[in-house]
Every structure is written in C-alpha cells, then in structure tokens.
Amino acid sequence: MKKNTSKIMVILAIIAMVSTFMVFTGCPGDDAAGLIKVGIVNLPPEESGYRQANVEAMNNVFSTANGYEAKQTNTGDNSEQIAAAKGYIRDGVDYLLISAQNASGWDDTLKSAKDAGIKVILFDRPIDTDVSNYQAALLSDMAYEGKMATDWVLSLGLKPTNLVLIRGAMGSGAEIGRSAAVLEAQKAGKLKIVADGTGGDSWSLEEARKVVEAAIAAKKDFNVIYAQNDGMAQGAVQALEAAGITHGKDGKVKIIGFDFNRFALRNVQAGYWDANMQCNPRQAAEISKWIKSGKLPSGIIYQEELLVTTDTITDEIIDTWGINADPGKGKITR
Amino acid sequence: MINMQRLKQQISHLILPLSVLVILLVINLIKGPEYFSITMTNGAFYGPIPLLLDHASELVILTIGMALVTAASRGQDISIGVGATITSAVFVLFVLNAGEASLLTIVAGFLISCVAGLVIGAFNGTLVSVFKVQPMIATLILLMGGRSIAFLIDGKLSPLLDNPISKQIGTSITISDQIGTEIFNVPISTPIILTAVFIAITALVLKTTNLRLYVESVGINPSAARLNGISPKKIIFLTFLIMGVCTAVAGFIAVNKAARHDSSNLLKFIMMDAILAVAIGGNSLSGGKFSLTGAIIGAYTIEMLSQTLLRLDVGTETLRAFKAVFIIILMVVASPVVRDYAGKILQFARQILQKVRTRGGGGAEGGTGAPDDTDVAGPDIPVKKEE
C-alpha cells in the first residue's frame, strides 16, 4: 500500500510538473501574453535607401510596444528567405510578411503556411503564384508611377516634348513599369524620346551621366530628362551642369526623378530639379492597420503614391515621406 | 643599342592596348570628328575627351593597384569597389563630424581614409600572403560583407557632403564640389589632376625603387625570389597595401563627384573593368611581368568603349551584349596568337615577293614593300622571345 501511494504521488508530481511546463510553453502561442506573432522575411537594408526606410518602418511598427512579437530575417538570398519563412511557419506565427528576392519558387512554402492557418501578406514585391496562396499583397504600382510621371511631363505642355529616357536595371519590375507609360506616349505621338539609355544594374549615376553627355555631344535637342531613380537624375543634371545647359524651374531642361530621396526633394524645392515621383517603402503602417482592424483585404492592393513638383512640395512632405539623409532646407545636391 | 632594344620591347608590350585604343579612335572619327572637339564651358574644358579623362579617373587609379596585385600575387583583388566604399564612408563620416567641410578637414579626412585603405589592404594582404588564400577568394570575403560595413560607418542614410545653398545655383562653391568638378580658375577638372598626380607618384616610385623588380620576380617564381633574398610574403603584402591606398584615393574622388555617399552603388562593378583594363594592357593575369602604361591605356580604352557604344546609339537592351562582343573582337584581334598568325602570313607574303623578285618581276614595288614588312614584323620578335 505504502509503496503504491508513493508511486501515485510520484506520478502525480510528474503530471503536475509536465502540465505546468506545458502551460508555460503553450502560453505565448495563444493569447495569454496578448502579443500578435509576426514573422517578417525581407531583403537586407544595405540593398538600397528604399530598403533601409522599409526595414526601419517594419522595426518601428511591429514592436512590442505596438502589441507585436516580431521576428525578422533580412537576406538577399532566396533560399535563405524560404528557409526563414518555413522556420516561422514551424514557430506558428499568426502573420507572415514577405518581400521576396525571387518571384518564383515560393509555392510550397505558401501552401504550407496556408495549411497551418497562417495569413501571408506580401509587401513591396509580388510573387508569381496563385492569388489563393496568400492573403494580400501591398505593392507599389510601377506602371502607376510611370503614368503619373508621364502625365506630369505632358502637362508641361512643351512643344515639342523631346525626352531623354534613363532607365534602371533592364528588365526589373521598376524599369518595365516606369518605362511603359513613356513608351506608350511616344507611340501615341504625344512626345518624342530622343535618347534612350540605362544606368545599368546598379542604377548608376555615372552611366546616366554618360547617356546625357552622349546626347549632348550628338547635338540632340531635348527638354525633359526622365530618370527612373534619383541617383540617375543627379548624374543627368551633372552632365547638364558641365555642358552649361540650364535646367530646373527657370531652365530649359525639365528634370524628373523617382523614389523621394530627401536630397532629391530638396533639389525640387530649390527649383534645381522640377519633380519627383514617390515609391513608398513604408507599407508597415498600412499592414498593421489591417491586422489591428481584423479586416484583411485579399489579392493585390496598390499603395497610393505622390508626385511633387516645385509648386506642391512642402517641408512636411520631405519630413514624412522622404527617405535617406536630409541635406537641410535650402541646400541642393549637385 | 641596348636602349633601342628596351624601347622596342616596351613598345611591343603596348601593341595590344594601343591597337585597341586606335581601333576605337578610328571608329569615333568615322562616326564624326566632333569627338575630338574641345570647347570652354563655364571656364573649363568641355568635350568628349576631357569628359573621358574625368570619368576614367577612379578606374585608372584602381587599375594601377590591380596591375601590381596581379603581378605579385598571381590573382585579382575583387573587393576594390567595396574597399573604396568603406574608405569613402570613413572620409564622409570624418568630414561631417568635423563640423564644416574646410580644406583642412577634407585633407585630414582623406588621410584618415587612406589609413582605412591600408587596414583593408593589410586584411586582404594577410589572408593572401600569410594564410595563402587565393586572392580572389580572400577578397571575396570583403566583397560580400563590405557594403554592410560601409553602411554601419556612414549611418545607413547615404549622407551628403556639404553642398551649396540654392542662391548660388549653378556655381560650385564648396571644396567638395571643387574636388568633384573644377577648382576656381583651373580649366581642367580636379579628378583629372588628381589622377595625373597619382600616376606621376607611381612612376616616380617605380623609377627610384626596386619595387618593379621585386614584384615581377615574386610573380614569376616565388621560390626563386625567396632564394635570392626577396620575401614573397612581404612583397605580396606590400602590393595589397598599395592597393589599399589606391582604393582610398578612388573612393575619395568618387564620393566627391557624387556629392553624397551611396553605400549600395558606389563603384559597384568596377573590379570587372579594372581586371579587364589590366588584361587589355597586355598583362598576364597569372602574374609576373607587368606594364603599368599598358594597364592605364587599357583603363582609358574601356571608358572610351562605353562612350563609343553610347555614341553609336546601340539599343539599350542590347548594349551589354554589344560591349561583350566588342571586347571579344578587340582581344582576339590583338591577341598574340592572331599576331603570330599575321606574322606568318607576312613572312609567307615576303617569300612569295622574294620569289617574284628573283624571277625578275616588279622591282620598285617590291623594294618599298620589303623594308615596311620588316618594320611591322620587328616589334613582334621580342614578344615571341618573352613567351
């Protein structure tokens, strides 16, 4: 008898220990701690100024103070990204946010997330897969950006509009989208592309500068430079400066850049350039809003983005929406 | 007589880069002679050639370092662009923290960035010389991780150098601007001047020291060099240190040109161009004898090639492929094999000519032809000896 009771006591003790242990391990997964578990798979901040702002926004929004328990993996290697995503699925996160390096190869991962009941939200970059494999995608519509910018060029009412097109990395989503509207406008006879160049895979300032220099050397007459990012617009303007061609608000050549770098916005503000088109890296706030409201949209959602000109730019826009370092009011960047 | 032979040998080294350069010049001349026009704009020389010299600055400086590293270590440093990004990040950080971008702070910042360059060179050099890691693998480490380091240094926000207030739009007033473009009242752009000074210093060092001899002997046969009292370890380490200084100077020029520090894209693919320049310069990529003159001409040639392709209005989509095809053609046309073959054909032609002459045919024509042929074939002979 005595032996039996002691045995029972031991068993009870073990059960008690195990159950408390299970309670402790089980807790964070449920809502006892009240934090929403989020796994973020992103690209590394050193990729670009855009990504820098993007990662920063993710860090700020998905913080414990805002009620999130977030884990982040920032890598430019697609297989590492997939491995990280699978890890988060095993961990049992509530939401999985992905900005994929490659648009393909994600099907299995997305399906297993779906099976586990995890809501997948893509941001910034789309994935080539069936829409049913993810909840929603919050993207920048490059074609929309190109259309806004081209509409601005046409609204200048220059007769004729002779445009130098400086593309980004050929074949990239941004290049295709931002070129589309311009090429269409040329087809419709609304403007003429007198020089068509690229800054290459690094969207290089120097290459862009050479494109404009070649156009000047060939005595091509142009009055708009449409550079698909700010660095390339900067290179283009350097070429104009060296050749003594006026540009900006009161100048001959109108300059438009993309991406909303703060230095570019200050240049627009100073009338050194003419316009800039936003490419918003701060999807985090919008996604958080969706999660907190419990009303998740489905399918692809495009962000609304701004185009600023010398007339519409304000300090507030530069503060709130600009990316990278601010040179300070009144300063221009050559 | 000995001098003549040395001169001939030097010229034979330069046949490859010079012939490539001449081909490009001819293409540009055919396209339009305005390529050679130089005008004064805003008080400085302006035209395709001055622009070419200006844009090639960083590449030329890095090519010098690359030629030395290649000659001694029998491998290439592929971290140069990243190295320059880190050194220029140090430069920018110093200047911005110093409060104002005066001449003093800029010079001090430059010297500190040179120290950073030496540290990078020492890192790569140690891996290659002490641990015997292949140069390309050793420098791959920095290539992969370096831009993150630059990001940590520059504060991740691509900071800006001091720039003019908008009242003075169009006038370069800050010192950084003057380094990136032109100094007041000097018609030649500052990068060109800096490059010329750098080339002159390099030439002086090679002239007054035994560096060339040591580097070449280590590159040709490290064991033999060691038996003769030259330490391959030290020499290879030294070439990487020199490379470190080259990256610092190139980074300094590049960041002042751009007026802001862009850690993601600064000099991103320049190592490819630098290696190509060394090769076009007639240098073997497996070490040994080297020609800096050839490498420098090679660097300017590459810059001219990209300018030429833009002048020829090559389609944007096909530009890269076009450039590759062009380089293949240039390298093949100017390669020793083809030159050998051309030499043989010349010889064959000469024999036929001689036969024709012994038969008593056209005397005057053959007479002028023969000396020409020997002149053309002349520089080829030392090349054969070398191999």
Distance CA B320, CA B307 (A): 13
Distance CA A323, CA A325 (A): 7
Furthest C-alpha separation in chain B? 86
Break chain A down into helix, strand, coil percent, rounded to 5.
Answer: 45, 20, 35
DSSP bridge partners of A315 = none
Considering only the beta carbons, identify the residue of B46, B51, B177 that sits closest to A334.
Answer: B177
Phi, psi dihedral angles at B297 (to 5 degrees): -60, -40
| pLDDT greater than 50 at residue B365 | no
The pLDDT assigned to A118 comes to 94
Question: How close, in Å, is residue B317 to chain A by CA atoms?
Answer: 7
| pLDDT greater than 80 at residue A327 | yes
Q: Both ends of chain B: CA-CA distance in Å? A: 22
The pLDDT assigned to A34 comes to 81
The pLDDT assigned to B364 comes to 45
CATH number of B2-333: 1.10.3470
Closest residue on chain A to B155 (Cα):
A325
Q: Which residues contact B136 (CB under 8 A, 6 or more apart)?
A: B75, B76, B78
A interface test, pick of B265, B304, B314 with most A CB neighbours within 10 Å: B265
Q: Characterize A110-135 residue by residue with b for buried, 16 or more Cβ atoms within 10 angstroms of its Cβ, and e for exposed.
A: beebbeeebbbbbbbbebebeeebbb
Distance CA A291, CA A62 (A): 11
What are the pLDDT digits (tens) for A252-278?
Answer: 999 999 999 999 999 999 999 999 999
Stretch A5-25: mean pLDDT = 56
Band of pLDDT at residue A238, cut at 50, 70 and 90: very high
Half-sphere exposure of A215 (CA within 13 A, CB side): 29
Q: Which residues contact A275 (CB under 8 A, 6 or more apart)?
A: A149, A152, A254, A255, A256, A257, A268, A307, A308, A309, A310
| Count of CB atoms situated within 10 Å of the CB of A305 | 17
| Count of CB atoms situated within 10 Å of the CB of B117 | 29
Look-up of token digits 């299995």? A108
Band of pLDDT at residue A12, cut at 50, 70 and 90: low
Q: Which of A34-43, A159-168, B9-18, B85-94 has the lowest mean pLDDT?
A: B9-18
* Torsion region of A2: left, alpha or beta (phi above 0 gives left; psi -120 to 50 gives alpha): alpha
| pLDDT greater than 90 at residue A7 | no
A334 touches chain B (CB under 8 A): yes
Q: Which of A144-148, A163-167, B382-386 has the lowest mean pLDDT?
A: B382-386
A interface test, pick of B262, B266, B271 with most A CB neighbours within 10 Å: B262
| pLDDT greater than 50 at residue A29 | no
The pLDDT assigned to A6 comes to 67
What are the pLDDT digits (tens) for B155-187?
Answer: 767 788 765 544 444 454 677 888 888 887 889
Half-sphere exposure of A35 (CA within 13 A, CB side): 17
The pLDDT assigned to B177 comes to 81
Q: How many CB pairs under 8 A join A and B?
A: 129
The pLDDT assigned to B374 comes to 41
Band of pLDDT at residue A184, cut at 50, 70 and 90: very high
| pLDDT greater than 80 at residue B121 | yes
Contact B277, B295 (CB under 8 A): yes
Phi, psi dihedral angles at A199 (to 5 degrees): -85, 0
Closest residue on chain B to A198 (Cα):
B316
Considering only the beta carbons, identify the residue of A200, A217, A263 that sits closest to B260.
Answer: A263
Distance CA A96, CA A110 (A): 10
Residue A174 sits at the vertex; the CA angle it makes with A170 and A178, to the nearest 5 degrees, is 95
